[in-house]
A and B are shown apart, each in its own frame.
Chain A
Amino acid sequence: GAGVSQSPSNKVTEKGKDVELRCDPISGHTALYWYRQSLGQGLEFLIYFQGNSAPDKSGLPSDRFSAERTGGSVSTLTIQRTQQEDSAVYLCASSLWTSGGATGELFFGEGSRLTVL
């Protein structure tokens, strides 16, 4: 696609429910990142995927959070048993992995705003 696409753009859920957030990166981008941005806060790294390598999950805040990336393209971030503190904007970004082994310019989607009541 022309840009990074995220869905849903807004999600309101009740505490304790599971939610799935989807990210469709720019075609050909092998690096994919998930970040979280709480109200008035900076970006918090969650997880990173690069090709077929094992993902870097070091930023996931708890075992209620998980993510997968199917076929090296679309990624889904799943939050189980949501809590009110999970309310935030979840941002996905993708980047091209260059032959030098380093990523280039980072492009973001519009984000998924999650509200847990």
Chain B
Amino acid sequence: KQEVTQIPAALSVPEGENLVLNCSFTDSAIYNLQWFRQDPGKGLTSLLLIQSSQREQTSGRLNASLDKSSGRSTLYIAASQPGDSATYLCAVRPTGNQFYFGTGTSLTVIP
């Protein structure tokens, strides 16, 4: 069974810093990997989707990379802002129907 791990569980940084969130998965046979953010009391908002054939995706200040062979993905956030404070989750989709989610990294950006 696919297992997804996110480290660290919590991260606190001062505003303006660049930061990296990590996601690792045990089975490299995935179809895609998706990053989400979740604000308190809200649903999940999709940030970036990386297909298995891709190495990275970018959206604004966000850049996600994928290394299938090592079972790792990183989400890079440039010039962090207080509005980036949220929980960030990654999900991998093996070659079946289910998505496997990590437990998330809680990010706090201090003004």
Contacts and interface: CB of A to CB of B under 8 A. Distances in A.
B34 interface: yes
Interface in B42-68: 42-46, 49
Question: Chain A interface secondary structure, helix, strand, loop or mixed?
Answer: strand
B88 to A, nearest CB: 13
B97 A48 contact: yes
Interface stretch (A14-22, A68-76, A79-87, A107-115): A107-115
Contacts of A110: 42-43
Chain B interface residue bracket vs A: 20 to 34
A53 to B, nearest CB: 9
24 contacts: A41-B103, A42-B102, A42-B104, A43-B89, A45-B98, A45-B99, A48-B97, A50-B97, A56-B98, A91-B43, A102-B31, A103-B97, A104-B32, A104-B49, A105-B34, A105-B46, A106-B91, A107-B46, A108-B36, A108-B44, A108-B45, A108-B46, A109-B43, A111-B43
